[in-house]
Structure 1
Amino acid sequence: MFHRIRAAVVALAVGAGALALAPAAGAAAAAAPDPELSKLSVSPDTLDVTAAPGRVTVTFDSVGYDTASIRWSGPGSPADASGPTKTGTSGDKTSWKASAVFDADNAGDWTVAVTARKSGIADNTNTATFKVTVKSKLDTKIVDFDADPDAVRRGGTITASGQLKLERSGWKGYEGQPVKITFRAKGTDAYAHITTTTTGRDGWFRARVKAETTGWWRAEFLGNDKANGSVSDSDGVSVGQADSPSRLSFDAYPEPVDKGDELNFKGTLQVLGGHGWDGRSGYRVSIQFRADGSRHWEHVTSAVTGRHGRYGADATAVTSGWWRAVFAGAHGVDGSTSSGDWVRVERPTPPPPPDKLSSSLVSFNAYPEPVKRGKWLHFKGRLLVNDGGWEGYEAQVGLYKWSKGKWRFVKTTWSNDNGYLHTKVKASTSGYWKFYFRGDSDAKADSSRKDYVKVKK
């Protein structure tokens, strides 16, 4: 208020001169605000590049400036430096953004200097500092290590498995890393490298190895440029005396064989002992078959070895293929499998079929007529065959009903020794009925006459 009163007094005092001052006062009121560079921010102010390179982002605001530049000062040169670029304008204020990527070669203290420029106005520079750090290597650990089974025969296979974890914002599986499987025999102090496997999804690893002597197994990760090494707990495996090897001879005969005929098998089971290969009795041998075109062996029969390890068995020949004998092993004796023996199965030429007897279904009757729905409807008739004269014939006969444009099967019945037939069903709808004999190996087929029955409500 004070400044407005003073301006009025001046105007009255100088008269026309006051009119000359008026435009200058209006121009001062409309003048742009003073240039300003503010809100310089660095994120993050401490960047850990132990596991991977990271990005630092710089943001700031300016008022009254057209352009801006940035200078990074510190160890080495950052990668992928960009900006500053305008990110938004609000009134006289312009927002800016710039960034760069730093790795382990840039570890140390850094200064970022931001300069705003406009023609006719002095440059304005602000600075901020941040730090790029490389921490010590990340920790690892091997958990859930297991050598399974805990007891095997010499030369048997065990599975060594476990999980490698990396401590990075919590313990997580470390994928794609080499892990050594090592072994220390009982009575020794040093672990020897046996094999190397690679961790898979979530850091799990698995390796199959042969156990030759009793001792302890463990897994070792040697570390890398980002992670420290680690060693699992040890797991003991007891190794017993190796089983004695066995062998099987095998023969399938006759060759070829007709389909449906008996196929015979014989052979000998021997076990290597102190006196060489000896036949062993009392062991079960499985006879297996793999049909032509198949990849799968199927158990068919079995036999038990007798004197001198001999065995024998038989089976029905069905189709051509391979046969073999398999001994699954026993206490102190390794299993074994014979070589395969291929047998061709031929289709025998069947003898000409004998002439079939003529048949006749006679005296068919459906009764009572009419019949109430839900009551029993009876059927009788007789089946005859001509074997030097017509006589009753015992056989299976079908009862049929005409429905929806075709004869439909209802049930099966049997004729007695004299060929007489009788059966019954619950009445449901009106229609034609008949007996039908399909024929068999001795007699030809025949159908009875049809008989209509009305069904009343």
Structure 2
Amino acid sequence: MRIRAIGAAVTGALALSAFAIPAAHADEVVGDTAISNIVVNGGKPVVLSATGTKTITVTFTVKDASGVDYAEAILYHGADIDSSDTGALANSSDYHATCTDTSATSANCKATYTLDQGSTVLNKHAGTWNIWAIAAGNDSDYVIKEHAKSFKVQRLSKLTVNAAPEPVKKGKTITVTGKLSRANWDAGTYSGYASQPVKLQFRKKGSSTYTTVKTIKTTSTGALKTTVTASADGYYRYSFAGTSTTPAVNATGDYIDVQ
């Protein structure tokens, strides 16, 4: 079957060349086979810590009037699968998804993938990833989608805060320090995130809502430092909105006793 040959060629190239893929195939549809409802990691960005591995799940639906033969999805980073610089194959022995028939013409498919920080995933790979997908019907109809779904792979972020002195007299100066860091997959540690806007927020004692006091930028090492005037008991925190490569994060509020 030609469709199996196409799938095997792309999968084989991925497996043998560490995702340097020659002559892959763009979108192609023969017959009525369709892929839909692709969900990566439960619809959430894939956030990886500095070390270790992370396994994620991809689910999708395949339909064909003759019934579903098989399906496969490949994760990759790059403008297209031909020029991708890394990626992941399904953890199954044949790299196929496990498809369960829900009717004579439809199946729900599922596959897991393991990403390895510092190996298949380096700092340069943070950001948007795509899915190359293929599915076939029992009648040899098939569909190939090169950009079947996009999703984010991000570097885990951490944010700290410390407000001092404590206690402090009303009207005196409070110095609020902290640091924004994120996973460095190349080094297997956490590194400061430079030149990023971060909000200093305050929550008055008895309130459940934080209000932004000011916005400052991190230094070249990810450090944060600013001053405010003590006015009332409450909690100070830093809040980072996130970027395409790094998720949003809030520091745990630090309580200040104003006397």
Instruction: State TM-score, norm by structure 2.
Output: 0.46
Instruction: State TM-score, norm by structure 1.
Output: 0.27
Q: Which one has the largest radius of gyration?
A: 1
Q: Which structure is higher in strand share?
A: 1
Higher relative contact order (CA 8 A, sep 6+): 2
